[in-house]
Amino acid sequence: MVQNWDQNGLRARFCHSLSELYKTEVPLYGDLVDVVFEADTQAVHDSQESANIINPDDVLPSRHRVERHGAIRLGTAHELNTIRRMFSVMGMYPVGYYDLSLAGFPMHATAFRPTSQDALSQNPFRVFTTVLRMDLLTGKTRELAQRALKQRNIFTPRLIEILDMVDKKGTMTPAECTEFINNGLETFRWHSKATVTLDEYMLFKAEHPLIADIVSFPSSHINHLTPRTIDIDLVQQLMLDHGMPAKERVEGPPKRNCPILLRQTSFKALEETVYFRDTSGTFVKGSHTARFGEVEQRGYALTRAGRQLYDKILNQVNAEAERLKLKGNDYENALRSHFTEFPDTLSELREQNLAYFCYQLTLAGERMAKDDMAISEFGTTAVSLQALLDKGIMKYEPLTYEDFLPLSAGGIFNSNLGDVSQSKQLIMSAEPDLDGFQRLLGAHIADEFHLYAQMQQESLLHCKQHLGLHDI
Ligand code: OOG
Ligand code: NI
């Protein structure tokens, strides 16, 4: 039987419902969404008045305003595997492997997201999904964590029934789609009653606060949602103006003419009341900090070469910052000055193969294709892409980065933990474990570079076919 529901529509509905749920749970997130709207309205207005370059993809109304990502943290293979099945119903698949031990966390992650241009343009909702690495915990903590995780079930029985039914029949009725959303939301809902004792919680927290967050509660609460903005510096300023507890700095590359990858900031997690079990079966009052709001500005997707250059420059900046104890404006100045090494025009990024692009025919190119003139102009010999661009037959636009950055994620995690020592030897000397992650997941993780390269290649092929040329 053929799948009979609209995955893109279901994803959009789920994202919307989750956003509404989170606004009621964390009202400051609702304020953040308003601040983003205020900043974007002002940025669009300012860009119309001056000749500011704005990523055209950002102002497309279809993605703008509804765009969100969220993040969850899981503990077991069953949880990860079931989340994979749940997201695939909404057309979200695991892309990219993130080794968070690089940033001092005993965790690794992937992002579930739509993978085709069409699905991304309909609704790009994605969920950064972290899994605790048991191999990076000390023996006693591991044992307690495994025990706590074993006794919880983060999925409703009805959700599991629907997933089994989808696997078997491949179809869902409209009523089942609604049930899927309502039951799916339960996995992400906050519960203030912990499943562990205060002593156990303190033991987890002493080893790493994120262990406590992952294993102490009965659901895998969504820990933040993130709207996308076109001017993150303005959002940061407005957060401060509104007295919101903004993180100290924006993560990622500095502001540039050609924005690359991802820039992120957040408001810090709030301290919330939680109740811990005590041995007599009653509850004692305590607190936990976990949930926050984040903002992101997306730039261009970089090739492997572009990403290597980005990582090299960022490492230089961070080494210098450590050596000279740079903070605040001094850090920002060092970042800006080192990043002048990264080319900042579209033509350089393309010619040096640093970013990915989508190629299209120009109006002149369309005319040529329609009249079958390319062959008579160029004959049957291969014609270079550069020649077609120079002659105004083809044009290009950068592809947007749809993924995440481990060090930037680390900065977001950290600003929401208070002061934690990050120097645990076991974690810092860990190796990435993609195979281990895929085993828990029960599926392969797609390589993000491959997906962008494929989109670029398809756009070239499309132009070539339209022009009737053999090779470009
Ligand atoms: C995930 C943090 C990473 C991002 O945007 O880089 C993340 C978490 O806090 O669980 O969401
Ligand atoms: Ni995030």
CA dihedral 210→267→104→138, nearest 10 degrees, is -10
Helix (H, G, I), strand (E, B) or coil at 301: coil
Q: Which atom of ligand 1 is nearest to the CA of 408?
A: 6
Q: Where are the domains of the chain?
A: 7-300+402-441, 302-346, 357-398+442-472
Ligand 1 contact via 172 beta carbon (within 6 Å): no
**Rg for the chain (alpha carbons), in Å?**
24
Please state, in angstroms and rounded to a whole number, the distance separating the CA atoms of residues 8 and 5. 9
Q: Check if the beta carbon of residue 262 is closer than 8 Å to that of residue 401.
A: yes
Q: Does the interface ipTM go beyond 0.90?
A: yes
Is the distance from the beta carbon of residue 73 to the nearest atom of ligand 1 less than 6 Å?
yes
Atom 6, ligand 1: residue with shortest CA distance = 409
Q: How much distance in Å is there from the Cα of 386 to the middle of ligand 2?
A: 38
Global confidence as pTM: 0.94
The answer to whether the CB of 141 is under 6 A from ligand 1 is no
C-alpha–C-alpha distance, residues 256 and 466, integer Å: 35
Question: Which among 404, 414, 416 is the best mutation to test ligand 1's pocket, defined by most ligand atoms within 8 Å of the CB?
Answer: 404
Query: For the packed helices 139-150 and 198-207, what is the interaxial angle rounded to 10 degrees?
Result: 130
Cα 340 to chain centroid distance, Å, stands at 26
Q: Which atom of ligand 1 is nearest to the CA of 405?
A: 6
Q: Is 342 exposed, middle or buried (0-12, 13-18, 19+ CB in 10 A)?
A: buried
CA angle centred on 46, ends 44 and 49, rounded to 5°: 110
Strand spans (E) along 23-178: 68-74, 93-99, 107-113, 126-132
**Quick one: which of 74, 285, 291 has its CA closest to 194?**
285
Ligand 1 pocket check for 412: Cβ under 6 Å: yes
CA distances in angstroms from 469 to 350, 359, 405, listed in the order given: 22, 15, 39
Question: Which of helix, strand or coil describes residue 380?
Answer: coil
Rounded distance between C-alpha atoms, residue 109 and residue 406, angstroms: 9
For residue 381, CA distances in Å to 261, 386, 394, 471 come to 37, 15, 18, 8
Tokens of 12: 């959009």
Q: Can you identify the CATH homologous superfamily of domain 7-300+402-441?
A: Uncharacterised protein PF07063, DUF1338 (3.10.180.80)
Q: Distance of CA 79 to CAs 153, 243, 336, 472, Å? A: 8, 38, 42, 47
- Tokens 């083809």 appear where? 394
CB of 342 within 6 A of ligand 1: the answer is no
Ligand 1 pocket mutation pick from 224, 225, 267, 420 by most atoms within 8 angstroms of CB = 224
Residue 332 CA to residue 310 CA, distance in Å, equals: 16
Distance (Å) from CA 129 to ligand 2 centroid: 10
Task: Judge residue 329's burial from the number of C-beta atoms within 10 Å of its C-beta, 0-12 exposed, 13-18 middle, 19 or more buried.
Answer: exposed
Which of 222, 245, 251, 261 minimizes the C-alpha distance to 69?
A: 222
Q: How far apart are alpha carbons 100 and 431 in whole angstroms?
A: 10
* Alpha carbon of 319 to ligand 1 centroid (Å): 23
Over its length of 472 residues, how does the chain's per-residue pLDDT go in tens digits?
Answer: 578 999 999 999 999 999 999 999 999 999 999 999 999 989 888 877 766 555 545 554 556 677 789 999 999 999 999 999 999 999 999 999 999 998 889 999 999 999 999 999 999 999 999 999 999 999 999 999 999 999 999 999 999 999 999 999 999 999 999 999 999 999 999 999 999 999 999 999 999 999 999 999 999 999 999 999 999 999 999 999 999 999 989 999 999 999 999 999 999 888 999 999 888 878 999 999 989 999 999 999 999 999 999 999 999 998 999 899 998 899 999 999 999 999 999 999 999 999 999 999 999 999 988 887 776 777 666 788 999 999 999 999 999 999 999 877 777 777 777 655 555 666 778 899 999 999 999 999 999 999 999 999 999 999 999 988 876 6
- Torsions phi, psi for 340 (to 5 deg): -65, -20
